[in-house]
Structure 1
Amino acid sequence: MSSTSQPGQSQTFGIPWPDLNDGLSYTDVVRLSESKLTLIGFYTSKYKSSAPLQGWLQRIRNGQITIDGRVVTDPDTVLRVGSELVYQRLPWKEPDAPHMLEVLYDDDDMIALNKPSGLQVLPGGIFQQRTVLTQLQWQASKQSTCFARQELHPVPVHRLGRGTSGILLCAKTKLAKTRLATYFADGTAHIGGSRDINKEHGTSGKISKLYRALVSGILDNDKVVIKQPIGTVKYPGVAKGLYVASPSGKPALSIVDVLEKHIQGQHTLVEVQIQSGRPHQIRIHLAFIRHPLLGDPLYAVGGQPKSFDCEVLDDSFAQDGGYKRPTKPIPGDCGYYLHAHQLVLSHPTTNEVIKIIAPLPSILWTQEESKNINLE
């Protein structure tokens, strides 16, 4: 038995973002190996990627750090084992981001959203409040006060890049979260195994994802299977490293089908199916085959960043004491055209096959689709 999500009555939700977020608190308990360090020594050694020396000194002297609940402004204060340190990051204005979300599918176990380009999924970096997760939490809070029902805590079970639009699947219960997360993990884990490509290309697994994208240049072949591994390299502004095409990376599989070739504009409209889910996989794989996403500010031919030159971090710092934003592009930068268009999965509790479709942005329509829509 199967069903398809029906756009019919399009439901949307979203609360406009406050001008400033609520700030953040970071808590640490001093370990034995850290005792007898000074306060400034602790933060500059443990969180050196957060701010330079002068930035941490500013934060301490501003009274943003407490030890066991007491504000301490002397950076040379010696720490004792077991003490609780709290750094309070002051509220700041996050960059502009959309706040409205369209509901594509909704039941007691899960909800599928049509995420707009420009909205981050989970908190990270300068986006701590302006995320999908925040809007989900606000919506759940409204519903739990309006209805006599068990309070739900919907959370995304996978990620889409900030510049990527389309289907984002979220779980409402712990059971659904566990099972949906397993679907995504299983699809990735099987890549590189002994199964043949035809089986991997099929939808025999628990989940299948189909994307629409606009790439630079004209693909020679109408179908391309990409099995380039993906790993990380050091990159300014990305603490955990930037994902790139790497022979020593983890296995990844993308199947690319050409939909239309635009010779005059020198770009190609493609459909991409993935079952593995490495970060930025489609962007990296298409760049690896010499056809990066049109408008991608970060990835160039070969699946590498456009610039590998490492920036030297100096003692200059932003208003909040942290490092200034890198001048080079970072993964969250937008400008490319990639849309999670279709998702087919087994329902986490009923096993019913569910097909969810996110309407395409007009720039990703085929000529035939454009004609049909104009006729309606």
Structure 2
Amino acid sequence: MQSDRPTGDVSENGVWSAVVPRTMAGERLDVFLSSAFKDGGLSRSKIQSLIKSGSASVDGEVARKPKLKLSGGETIALTVDLPSAELAPEDAPLDVIHADEHLVVVNKPWGLTVHPAPAQPSGTLVNRLAHHFPAIMSMEGERPGVVHRIDKDTSGLLLVALDEKTRLALSAAFAGRDVDKDYLAIVHGVPQDESSGRQTGTIDAPIGRDPKSKTKMAVVDKGGREALSEWEVLWSSPDGQASLVRVHIYTGRTHQIRVHMAHIGHPLMGDAIYGARQHKEWLRDSGHDASLAPRQMLHAWRLGFTHPETEQDMRFVLEPPEDFRRLLFTLARTTVRVGVVGMPGCGKSALSGFLREAGVPVFSADDAVAALYEHGEDGWTLVRRRFGEEFAPDGEPVAKGRLFAGMRQSEDFRREVLDIVHPLVQHRLEEFWAQHADAPVAVAEVPLLVEGGWDERGIVDMVVGVHCPEAVRRGRLEDRGWDEATMAALEAWQWSEADKLARCAHVVDNSGTLDDLHAEAQRLLQRIDADRRADEEREHQRIMALWSGDKDASAGADATAS
């Protein structure tokens, strides 16, 4: 991106000089120089040291006060250790996407500075270009061939001219907005246009130096330069914590995408300058290591322009690097939320116990109800408020025997009880899912799950049923002291076993011994893991298709790199 920081000329004796723009009237001398040399890596403290040592002058007079206020229009000079006038070629890797005698398109890796600067005279992309394309050595200036830039920690496509005529033509094309630039960004949250409610929008907001922090850029009310970006959400993580966004920029302001996306409340993941708070919170809440997003997650994805010599339409598409893909695939991972159902006495709890022993987080709706019915808890309070102290006595838990008897006598009463209890249990279950969001699999044993439509409403991802011969399970219930009337009532409130199992992705057979059920539990986990891996692979393919299926790339030069 093109910078709007103050620029100047370098004399033969290594003195940098520039005229202070009128728009920077009132600025301090050290702030002005820090702005000018930010790309060179000169810190504010280094600038201040240079000023105090007498290395700076204002209109020919030595200025030793870093806080000196400028009026605008002055000529500022600073003596620094500038790069050698002769560019030093470096034999280092260069990923060339396209090259001809006039220009080259390269894939710039993140972490690589584009051109030499006072604090980094070597180790840049231009140093590598000088080795692989010596023609740029004949061009003037410290940035030979550079017609646009991307930040050091941004990856992707970069266009470089190999001769002065091409450089001038391409620079004019960038200035005239005749170059198409699309970026991929991973941002916090899911952007949504406030007026339309759609996941696409335009940001038309001027960018200038942040009045609160001179080392940052910001959307400003006064003194900024026009900045126009369009964005579109391509994909969002299942938990809504992050999105893959396409951003098309019409202007090339410093940090434009980073500033604009932060301005609408969705900064880039990994951006330590414009999204530090959001990224810190995400790392804390997700438990992920900071190495998962080691830089601002921004990639120069598509580049289109007219070749200045051949007039050919040139279009390039470049898939994101490995760290970008790794973050997206990690964000796409979800816990497989499994609901376990079955008829009374079928062995749901025994299966859940074996899964818990295998390290799987397990939720029990029955245990949740028991906790909710304790004195003073939400279930106790609501039952007492609706049905009176007969069912929720002072100092005691809910009288479940009386409640059950009332439910058997009246269908309306039973439905009222379920209307109280089910939302509370669902809330506890959702808290359970959130607590175990990093687990590959989590299980909830909920007897009336399918009857309540929890699978259809997306409260669980998969339903597993437990089958047990009727005679066997009734015998188990009799051993627990259940009479025929109780069994009949509970079964009447549920779907038939056939209807339950018809809604299940997997059915566990519990017609044998406990050892047999333990083996079934192990096989179930293997099947669920296979399903999860297949779903992840399908999601990975879907994500990759978002950046590889570019229809425009088939036009013109058809120069697609992936």
Q: Shorter-chain TM-score: what band?
A: 0.5 to 0.7
**Structure 1 residue 236 displacement after superposition:** 6.8
Equivalent-residue separation in structure 2 for 1:28 and 1:104 (angstroms):
37
Equivalent-residue separation in structure 2 for 1:208 and 1:151 (angstroms):
28
Q: Which residue of 1 aligns with 2:368?
A: none
Q: Which residue of 2 aligns with 1:114?
A: 107
| 8 Å CA contact 1:121, 1:162 repeated in 2 | yes
Q: Which residue of 2 aligns with 1:105?
A: 98
Which of 347, 355, 361 does residue 315 from structure 2 map onto? Answer: 355
**Structure 1 residue 219 displacement after superposition:** 2.0
Q: Which residue of 1 aligns with 2:122?
A: 129
Q: 1:222–1:52: structure 2 CA closer, same or farther, 3 Å change rule?
A: closer
| 8 Å CA contact 1:99, 1:119 repeated in 2 | no
Q: 1:334–1:352: structure 2 CA closer, same or farther, 3 Å change rule?
A: same
**3-state SS in 2 of match to 1:299:** coil
| 8 Å CA contact 2:186, 2:268 repeated in 1 | yes
**Structure 1 residue 251 displacement after superposition:** 1.4
Q: Which residue of 2 aligns with 1:27?
A: 14
- Offset from partner CA, 1:217-270 (integer Å, 9 cap, x none): 1223321111111111367784xxx32111221111111111111132600011
Equivalent-residue separation in structure 2 for 1:182 and 1:89 (angstroms):
28
**Structure 1 residue 367 displacement after superposition:** 3.3
User: Where in structure 2 are there 5+ consecutive unaligned residues?
Assistant: 1-11, 18-29, 35-43, 56-77, 85-90, 193-197, 281-292, 329-538, 548-561
Which of 218, 227, 230 does residue 204 from structure 2 map onto? Answer: 227
Q: 1:103–1:87: structure 2 CA closer, same or farther, 3 Å change rule?
A: closer
Which of 182, 187, 196 does residue 210 from structure 1 map onto? Answer: 182
Equivalent-residue separation in structure 2 for 1:368 and 1:52 (angstroms):
52
Q: Which residue of 1 aligns with 2:238?
A: 263
Q: What amino acid does structure 2 have at the position aligned with 1:214?
A: I
Which of 264, 277, 282 does residue 252 from structure 2 map onto? Answer: 277
| 8 Å CA contact 1:116, 1:165 repeated in 2 | yes
Count of residue correspondences:
255
Per the normalisation by structure 2, the TM-score is 0.39
Which of 150, 156, 167 does residue 177 from structure 1 map onto? Answer: 167
Q: What amino acid does structure 2 have at the position aligned with 1:160?
A: I
Q: Which residue of 1 aligns with 2:541?
A: 368
**3-state SS in 1 of match to 2:261:** helix
**Structure 1 residue 26 displacement after superposition:** 5.7
- Offset from partner CA, 1:285-326 (integer Å, 9 cap, x none): 100110000110001499xxx9xxxxxxxxxxxxxxxxxxxx
| 8 Å CA contact 1:117, 1:165 repeated in 2 | yes
Q: Which residue of 2 aligns with 1:82?
A: none
Q: What amino acid does structure 2 have at the position aligned with 1:139?
A: H
Q: Which residue of 2 aligns with 1:18?
A: none
Equivalent-residue separation in structure 2 for 1:369 and 1:344 (angstroms):
25
Of the two structures, which has the highest relative contact order with CA contacts closer than 8 Å and spacing of 6 or more?
1
**Structure 1 residue 133 displacement after superposition:** 1.3
Q: Which residue of 2 aligns with 1:292?
A: 267
Q: Which residue of 2 aligns with 1:244?
A: 218
Q: 1:135–1:367: structure 2 CA closer, same or farther, 3 Å change rule?
A: same
Q: 1:179–1:291: structure 2 CA closer, same or farther, 3 Å change rule?
A: same
Q: 1:170–1:225: structure 2 CA closer, same or farther, 3 Å change rule?
A: same
Q: 1:56–1:361: structure 2 CA closer, same or farther, 3 Å change rule?
A: same
Normalized per residue, the structure richer in helix is 2
Q: What amino acid does structure 2 have at the position aligned with 1:243?
A: M
Q: 1:264–1:346: structure 2 CA closer, same or farther, 3 Å change rule?
A: same
**3-state SS in 1 of match to 2:209:** strand
Equivalent-residue separation in structure 2 for 1:29 and 1:247 (angstroms):
31
**3-state SS in 1 of match to 2:302:** strand
**Structure 1 residue 356 displacement after superposition:** 1.3
Equivalent-residue separation in structure 1 for 2:111 and 2:182 (angstroms):
20
User: Where in structure 1 are there 5+ consecutive unaligned residues?
Assistant: 1-24, 31-43, 61-84, 92-97, 145-149, 188-205, 307-332
**Structure 1 residue 87 displacement after superposition:** 6.0
Equivalent-residue separation in structure 2 for 1:267 and 1:225 (angstroms):
19
Q: Which residue of 2 aligns with 1:37?
A: none
Equivalent-residue separation in structure 2 for 1:118 and 1:29 (angstroms):
26
Equivalent-residue separation in structure 1 for 2:191 and 2:220 (angstroms):
22
- Offset from partner CA, 1:195-216 (integer Å, 9 cap, x none): xxxxxxxxxxx31111111000
Larger Cα-atom Rg: 2
| 8 Å CA contact 1:252, 1:277 repeated in 2 | yes
**Structure 1 residue 132 displacement after superposition:** 1.0
| 8 Å CA contact 2:83, 2:121 repeated in 1 | no
Q: 1:53–1:101: structure 2 CA closer, same or farther, 3 Å change rule?
A: closer
Equivalent-residue separation in structure 2 for 1:254 and 1:104 (angstroms):
26
- Offset from partner CA, 1:120-144 (integer Å, 9 cap, x none): 1122353221211111123234x89
> CA-atom RMSD, angstroms?
4.3
Q: What amino acid does structure 2 have at the position aligned with 1:106?
A: A
Task: Tell me, yes or no, if structure 1 residue 342 matches structure 2 residue 319.
Answer: no
**Structure 1 residue 349 displacement after superposition:** 1.2
Q: What amino acid does structure 2 have at the position aligned with 1:253?
A: L
Normalized per residue, the structure richer in strand is 1
Report sequence identity in percent. Answer: 29
| 8 Å CA contact 1:26, 1:88 repeated in 2 | no
| 8 Å CA contact 1:109, 1:172 repeated in 2 | yes
| 8 Å CA contact 2:210, 2:219 repeated in 1 | no
| 8 Å CA contact 2:82, 2:117 repeated in 1 | no
Q: Which residue of 2 aligns with 1:78?
A: none
Task: Tell me, yes or no, if structure 1 residue 157 matches structure 2 residue 147.
Answer: yes
Q: What amino acid does structure 1 have at the position aligned with 2:202?
A: V
Equivalent-residue separation in structure 2 for 1:340 and 1:334 (angstroms):
17
**3-state SS in 2 of match to 1:178:** helix
